[in-house]
Chain A
Amino acid sequence: MVSHPSDKNKNVARVGHPESLTALELRAGMKYLTEFRNGEIAQRMAREIRVITTRPWKIMEVCGGQTHSIIKNGIDQMLPSEIEMIHGPGCPVCVTPLELIDKALAIAAQPGVIFCSFGDMLRVPGTDADLFQIKGAGGDVRVVYSPLDAVDLAMKNPEKQVVFFGVGFETTAPANAMSVHVAKRRGLKNFSLLVSHVLVPPAIEAIMGSPGNKVQGFLLAGHVCSVMGYWEYPPLAAKYGIPLVVTGFEPLDLLDGIRRAVVQLEAGRHEVENAYERIVTFDGNRAAQKLLAEVFEVTDRAWRGIGVIPNSGWRLSAAYRAFDAEDRFQISGIHTQESPLCRAGDVLRGAIKPAECSAFGKECTPRHPLGATMVSSEGACAAYFNYGRFLSIEELAGAGTGLTGVVHG
Chain B
Amino acid sequence: MAESAKTALLDLPKGTPDFSGWSCPLPLVGYPTIVMGHGGGGKLGNELVEHMFLPAFRNPALENLGDAAVLDLLNGRLAMSTDSFVVQPLFFPGGSIGELAVNGTVNDLAVSGAEPKFLSAGFILEEGFPLAQLAAIVQAMANAAHTAGVQIVTGDTKVVERGHGDGCYINTAGIGVLRPGIRLGPNRAKPGDAILVSGTIGDHGMAIMSVREGLEFESQIRSDCVALNGMIAEVLDAAGASVHAMRDPTRGGLASTLNEIAQASGVGIVIDEASLPVRVEVQSACELLGLDPVYVANEGKAVFFVVPEAAEKVLAVLRAHPLGREAARIGQVTAEHPKMLVARTAMGANRVIAQQIGEQLPRIC
Contacts and interface: CB of A to CB of B under 8 A. Distances in A.
A2 B288 contact: yes
B272 A406 contact: yes
B287 A5 contact: yes
A399 B287 contact: no
A87 to B, nearest CB: 16
B217 A167 contact: no
A92 B365 CA distance: 9
Interface stretch (A13-21, A100-108, A341-349): A13-21
Contacts of A21: 217-219, 284
Contacts, number: 201
Contact of A402 (B218, B270, B349, B357): B270
Nearest to A25: B218
B329 interface: yes
A317 interface: no
Tell which of A16, A122, A376, A387 has the most Cβ of chain B within 10 Å.
A387
Nearest to A9: B365
Given A15-B217, A74-B345, A78-B349, A378 B363 contact: yes
Given A5-B288, A39-B346, A406-B331, A30 B215 contact: no
Nearest to A18: B216
B329 to A, nearest CB: 5
B74 interface: no
A346 to B, nearest CB: 23
Given A143-B361, A376-B363, A403-B272, A74 B349 contact: yes
Contacts of A6: 290, 363, 365
Contacts of A403: 270-272, 331-332, 344
A29 B218 CA distance: 14
Interface in B318-365: 327-337, 340, 342, 344-354, 357-358, 361-365
Interface string A100-132: 000000000000000000111111000000000
B56 to A, nearest CB: 36
A232 B328 CA distance: 49
A395 to B, nearest CB: 8
Interface string B239-278: 0000000000000000000000000000010111011010
B280 A30 contact: yes
A120 B284 CA distance: 19
B215 A399 contact: no
B206 to A, nearest CB: 12
B221 to A, nearest CB: 10
Interface in B110-139: none
A73 interface: yes
B329 A406 contact: yes
Nearest to A93: B364
Given A37-B346, A402-B336, A403-B332, A26 B217 contact: yes
Top-10 shortest CB links A-B: A74-B349, A388-B352, A409-B328, A402-B334, A119-B361, A23-B219, A5-B287, A119-B362, A77-B349, A387-B351
Given A12-B288, A74-B347, A391-B352, 19 more contacts: A8-B290, A9-B365, A15-B217, A16-B214, A23-B219, A37-B347, A73-B346, A75-B349, A118-B363, A119-B361, A367-B357, A377-B361, A377-B363, A385-B354, A388-B340, A388-B354, A402-B270, A402-B332, A408-B275
